[in-house]
């Protein structure tokens, strides 16, 4: 009897323990049931045929409508209330450390604990399983692929408005609050200087150097909302320049990021080390799939210009690709990104200047006193982002109602300039890119040399650069190459290549290479009397296969005009002459008896 009582007590205790475990294992009634995936261990080993496990996982993933292929990445749509975002599950087939936790929102792995009376063991998907899913061709073929991702509405390839949500027909995923395009706020041709309401209020807070700089800021925002249309043709980098610190360059860059992405992207420190810059850019892209990257307060050091083959390459490339640090894995995405660089007294290489849209800041007096009392632009954007986006989308709608005309603005990115210029013109807004030549003269380190050369040519060949009758100096013009070298030495340009240790052929080659590189470049120069003018280096054919290089000098007053010319052949400058209207001073040529060539 005692043994039976003990047996009955043990049985009751066992039943009680199982009941307690069952209660502990039970879910609250309002908790959604997460599907279970069987056939895999915590180490990622398969207990069932791998095809069966992967097919079950694939069905769960596709049914969730929250996992996508994006470039070479496998990404997960995280949903925190109204804040949707993308999280990387695997990059180029390599699972991320947090991938199992993210997929745990979709399904839980389950295996027997080995105890028939104990509940099964449950765990989030192991990384080995995530890697297998990310690299299995059959599974990836069933997962929807994102072509365009944005945190704001966009226009589809037909320029139809595309709002929040997943659009499977065009493979667009949009995370955004509802935005209704508002063309009614556009003032149109009757008030061409007037921007839309909220956009105008925002830009009034900044100390732009000119109206053209302000309109270029609008152009940058239009570029951002249309970036998916500019992947193949390309778009410029945004160069925000300040004549001094404290003018608001960084604030404008932050506002652009807030408007386009709804959140502030991190500000990167620019470095002249291209390999380190690659790492920083790659980390920025991987942290968040934003559309704005800002390199803030770039400094060149020792007065040297900012020059970066990495930037030059990614600005023009339709695809962004970086190798992830300490791996053989590549991060890849479409180049629908707006790159911004801010700098005081900007100096850029010629290649970067050609790839940029300039926005300049300047003011007279203490900027702190001028800005005191003005509204906070960041707070204004946070409060009115939806209205600003509505106005920008409304501008595109107005352009569409005018049959989408293209402008003839000149820029390296011609298709971009025609598109953005056409939108601004359709809305009665002028000034787009009107600061391009002046900014290029300010930003381009090499153009500073061209300006110095033009000023030196004018100084040596005439008394007054604005005089319509250019006269030789009292001693007469030196022979061709001697005069040209004097111009280069006066300007202190490439003098290291014109020293006495250099051969005549080498000097001619260096001079010719410099001039050829800067044909049709316009610079702003200053004469001895302080008057400013524009100088354009031109190339025209001359006799005997020679090429005439001349500076066309155009004063600020349109009636004043002059030209200063240099004649070049076979890689070197051979003659020099001054021209005013149709009259030219007779050139004085010298013959190089050593090689029979004019130089």
**Distance of alpha carbon 82 from alpha carbon 88, whole angstroms:** 19
Q: Where are the domains of the chain?
A: 32-144, 183-439, 445-584
- Helix 480-491 × helix 445-461 angle, to 10°: 130
Please say whether the beta carbons of 528 and 490 come within 8 A.
no
Q: Is 481 exposed, middle or buried (0-12, 13-18, 19+ CB in 10 A)?
A: buried
Cβ partners under 8 Å of residue 32, min gap 6? none
Give the per-residue pLDDT at 349: 85
**Distance of alpha carbon 328 from alpha carbon 141, whole angstroms:** 24
**Distance of alpha carbon 182 from alpha carbon 190, whole angstroms:** 18
Cβ partners under 8 Å of residue 336, min gap 6? 148, 150, 227, 228, 230, 231, 291
- Write the DSSP string, 278-337: HHHHHHHHHH---SEEEEES---STTPPB--HHHHHHHH-SEEEEEPTTSS-EEEEE---
Give the predicted TM-score (pTM) of the model. 0.76
Alpha-carbon Rg for the chain in angstroms: 33
Give the per-residue pLDDT at 583: 23
Neighbours of 407 (CB within 10 A): 17
Give the per-residue pLDDT at 35: 93
Buried b (16+ CB within 10 A) or exposed e, 257-285: bbbbbbebbebbebbeeeeebbbbbbebb
DSSP assignment letter at 187: -
**3-class secondary-structure state, position 148:** strand
Q: How many CA atoms lie within 13 A of 167 on its CB side?
A: 20
Cβ partners under 8 Å of residue 434, min gap 6? 210, 212, 215
**3-class secondary-structure state, position 248:** coil
CA-based nearest residue to 204, from 341, 371, 366: 371
Q: Which two tokens stand for residue 195?
A: 């921007």
Q: What is the pLDDT along the chain (599 residues), one digit of tens a residue?
A: 455 556 777 777 777 776 666 655 555 555 678 999 999 999 999 999 999 999 999 999 999 999 999 988 999 999 877 788 899 999 888 899 999 999 999 999 999 877 777 788 999 999 999 999 999 999 999 999 999 999 999 999 999 999 999 999 999 999 998 898 887 654 444 444 578 999 999 999 999 999 999 999 999 999 999 999 999 999 999 999 998 888 999 999 999 999 999 988 778 888 888 888 888 888 887 767 789 999 988 876 666 788 888 889 999 999 988 877 767 677 788 899 999 999 988 888 888 989 999 999 998 888 888 887 889 999 999 999 999 999 999 999 999 999 999 999 999 999 999 999 999 999 999 999 999 988 887 887 777 788 888 888 888 753 233 222 223 333 333 334 677 778 888 888 888 888 888 887 788 788 878 888 888 878 878 766 677 788 888 877 766 666 667 788 877 654 445 555 554 443 333 333 333 322 222 232 322 333 222 21
pLDDT digits (tens, 9 = 90+) for 276-315: 888 888 888 776 778 999 998 887 666 678 888 888 999 9
CA-based nearest residue to 484, from 474, 493, 473, 496: 493
Angle at 307 between CA 302 and CA 310, to 5 degrees: 140
Q: Under CATH, what is the fold of the domain 183-439?
A: Rossmann fold (3.40.50)
- Specify the pairing of strand 561-569 against strand 547-555: antiparallel
**Distance of alpha carbon 344 from alpha carbon 242, whole angstroms:** 5
Give the per-residue pLDDT at 20: 64
């Amino acid at each position: 009897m005692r043994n039976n009582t003990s047996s009955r007590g043990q049985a009751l205790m066992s039943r009680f323990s199982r009941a307690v475990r069952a209660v502990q294992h039970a879910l609250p009634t309002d908790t959604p049931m997460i599907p279970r995936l069987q056939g895999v261990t915590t180490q990622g080993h398969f207990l069932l045929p791998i095809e069966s496990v992967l097919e079950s996982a694939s069905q769960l993933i596709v049914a969730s409508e929250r996992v996508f292929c994006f470039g070479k990445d496998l990404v997960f749509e995280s949903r925190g209330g109204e804040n949707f975002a993308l999280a990387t599950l695997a990059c180029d087939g390599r699972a991320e450390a947090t991938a199992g936790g993210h997929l745990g929102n979709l399904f839980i792995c389950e295996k027997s604990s080995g105890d028939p009376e104990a509940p099964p063991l449950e765990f989030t998907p192991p990384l080995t399983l995530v890697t297998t899913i990310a690299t299995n061709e059959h599974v990836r073929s069933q997962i929807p692929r994102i072509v365009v991702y944005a945190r704001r509405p966009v226009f589809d390839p037909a320029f139809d408005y595309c709002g929040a949500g997943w659009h499977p027909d065009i493979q667009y995923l949009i995370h955004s609050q509802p935005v209704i395009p508002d063309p009614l706020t556009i003032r149109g041709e009757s008030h061409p200087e007037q921007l839309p309401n909220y956009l105008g209020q925002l830009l009034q807070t900044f100390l732009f150097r000119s109206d053209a700089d302000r309109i270029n800021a609008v152009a940058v925002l239009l570029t951002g909302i249309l970036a998916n249309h500019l992947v193949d043709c390309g778009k410029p980098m945004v160069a925000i320049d300040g004549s001094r610190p404290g003018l608001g360059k960084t604030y404008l860059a932050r506002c652009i990021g807030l408007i386009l992405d709804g959140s502030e992207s991190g500000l990167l420190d620019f470095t002249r080390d291209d390999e380190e810059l690659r790492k920083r850019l790659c980390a920025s892209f991987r942290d968040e799939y934003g559309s704005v990257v800002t390199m803030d307060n770039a400094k060149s050091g020792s007065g040297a210009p900012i020059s970066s083959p990495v930037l030059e390459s990614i600005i023009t490339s339709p695809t962004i690709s970086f190798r992830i640090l300490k791996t053989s894995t590549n991060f890849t995405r479409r180049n629908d990104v707006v790159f911004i660089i801010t700098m005081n007294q900007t100096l850029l290489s010629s290649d970067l200047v050609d790839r940029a849209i300039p926005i300049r800041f300047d003011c007279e007096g203490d900027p702190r006193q001028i800005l005191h009392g003005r509204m906070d632009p960041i707070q204004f954007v946070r409060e009115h982002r939806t209205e600003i986006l509505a106005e920008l989308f409304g501008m595109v709608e107005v352009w569409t109602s005018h049959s989408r005309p293209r402008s003839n603005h000149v820029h390296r990115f011609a298709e971009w300039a025609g598109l953005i210029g056409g939108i601004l013109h359709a809305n009665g807004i002028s000034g787009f890119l009107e600061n391009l030549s002046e900014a290029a003269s300010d930003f381009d380190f090499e153009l500073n040399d061209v300006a110095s050369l033009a000023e030196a040519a004018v100084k040596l060949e005439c008394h007054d650069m604005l005089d319509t009758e250019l006269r030789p100096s009292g001693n007469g013009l030196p022979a061709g190459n001697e005069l040209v070298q004097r111009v280069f030495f006066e300007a202190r340009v490439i003098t290291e290549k014109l020293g006495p240790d250099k051969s005549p052929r080498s000097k001619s080659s260096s001079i010719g290479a410099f001039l050829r590189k800067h044909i049709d470049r316009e610079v702003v120069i200053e004469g001895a009397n302080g008057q400013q003018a524009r100088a354009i280096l031109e190339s025209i054919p001359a006799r005997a296969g020679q090429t005439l290089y001349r500076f066309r000098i155009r004063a600020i007053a349109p009636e004043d005009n002059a030209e200063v010319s240099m004649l070049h052949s076979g890689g070197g400058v051979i003659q020099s002459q001054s021209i005013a209207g149709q009259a030219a001073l007779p050139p004085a040529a010298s013959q190089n008896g050593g090689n029979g060539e004019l130089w």
